[in-house]
Amino acid sequence: MSRAAVFRSAAMVVLFTALAAGGCASVAESSEVVEYDGRSVKVDSLRAIKRQLTAAWSADALDAYIEYFGFPHNRATAYAATAVESSAYRLFLLRLWPVERAKIGRVLVVHGYMGHSGHHAALATALLEAGYEVFLLDLPGHGLSSGAPNTIDSFASYSDAVEAAIRRIQSTSATDLPLLAVGHSTGASALLDLVVRRREGASAVCGMVFAAPLVRIRHHRIRSFAARTLLRRPMRLPIALPISSGSIRNPAFRRFVQAGDPLLHPLFDPQWLSALDDWSARVQELPVVTWDGRLLVLQGTSDNVVAWRHNTRILGDLFPDARILLYQRYPHTILNEAPAHLEPVIREILDFLTAQVHS
């Protein structure tokens, strides 16, 4: 193997290990049936939802989505989906609400890079049981939203998407209920950008939870150099790409993203890393942020995707009143842990949200 090939192969490994959960899954054929945790669904049913972003929703297609990804599917919960326009993107926004108890607040959940809303059914279920109306947004290029897979020209487009979702939430739900937000990884980046750019949507949110927030990726200099010098175009990731325990510790979730999730795109575009570098450099030069809301940061100490020590320090400087909690030996996918490990994380989130609702 030539020296250039060796460097290229090494760079691929460096880049791949930087990615959050997902990304290594294959895209299922339209006629295929995928299975996970005793549930199965035809890929056609899920893709029908995306086709209908410009038309009326099919109840059957949305039912298939809800059931397959493990969202509550019972008389105690109602759900709907809508398309939200943001710049050049058409975004998927899922709404779930309790019908047998009074709602106490509204929560917007935003997934991470190479993820989508279907990854957060466990969190949504806990929020619903606590009395919250829940909204889940697919970012541009992810899940059922439009856009080139797993890339973006500017991270501002992510916060634009979040602000568009907040405008829709404010126009379609009870504005007398507090609005809060939970973001994982890049989802936290989108929420952070909303606040630091002093966007209108930030003022509508009284509290945010950042789970494994992305400000800088681990080994960012090496990975940025590799992306800019060795990669020139989007690259398809190997189907059997291993996922480290620092990214995903839960074996069931690891199996899911490797084989059971037809909404994951196995592509990496170096443009995404360039957009991250530009955004990260700007954020790290900011002074203390002025925002009336409260912030909770949840971070696992075994996370090998983000530079978590650096990130928590930056967030502590930007938000001096933020509460930052470290979870020993937790991975990057802190919101997708097995039930026994997820329970204390969910409890902390609920306690924080409840405190904001009653403040």
| Residue range 74-129, pLDDT digits in tens | 889 999 998 999 988 999 999 999 998 999 999 999 999 999 999 999 999 999 99
pLDDT for 25-40, tens place per residue? Answer: 444 444 577 666 666 6
Residue 10 belongs to what H/E stretch?
Answer: helix 3-18
**Strand order of the sheet with strand 132-137?**
77-86, 89-98, 132-137, 105-110, 179-184, 207-211, 294-300, 323-327
- Residue 148, CA atoms < 13 Å, CB-side half-sphere: 14
Closest CA to 139 of 118, 125, 170, 169: 118
Write out the H or E segment, with its range, that includes residue 92.
Answer: strand 89-98
Predicted confidence band at 21 (pLDDT cuts at 50, 70, 90)? very low
Q: Residue 301: its pLDDT value, please?
A: 98
What stretch of H or E contains 46?
helix 43-51
What pLDDT, in 10s, does the model give residues 232-249? Answer: 667 777 655 678 889 999
Sequence-separated (6 or more) residues with CB below 8 Å from residue 91: 83, 84, 85, 137, 138, 139, 140, 145, 146, 161, 164, 165
Q: Two tokens at 252?
A: 């069931």
| DSSP states along 211-247 | ES--SSBTTHHHHHHHHHHH--S-EEPPTT----TTT
Give CA angle at 77 (42, 358), nearest 5°. 135
3-state secondary structure string, 157-200? HHHHHHHHHHHHHHHHCCCCCCEEEEEECHHHHHHHHHHHCCCH
Give CA separation, 14 vs 161, 330, 344, in Å: 29, 21, 32
Neighbouring C-beta atoms of residue 144, cutoff 10 Å: 24
Residues 264-301 pLDDT 10s: 888 888 889 889 999 999 999 999 999 999 999 999 99
pLDDT at residue 16, rounded to an integer: 44
Classify domain 3-357 at the CATH class level. alpha beta
Distance CA 334, CA 338 (A): 9
In percent, how much of the chain has pLDDT > 90?
62
The total number of residues shown for the chain amounts to 359
pLDDT surpassing 90 at residue 302: yes
Count the Cβ atoms, other than its own, within 10 Å of residue 55. Answer: 8
Residue 184 has pLDDT above 90, yes or no: yes
Of residues 119, 106, 162, the one with CA closest to residue 137: 162
- Look up residue 153 and give its DSSP letter: S
Whether 306 contacts 212, CB under 8 Å: yes
Q: What is the pLDDT of residues 136-151, one digit of tens each?
A: 999 999 999 999 999 9
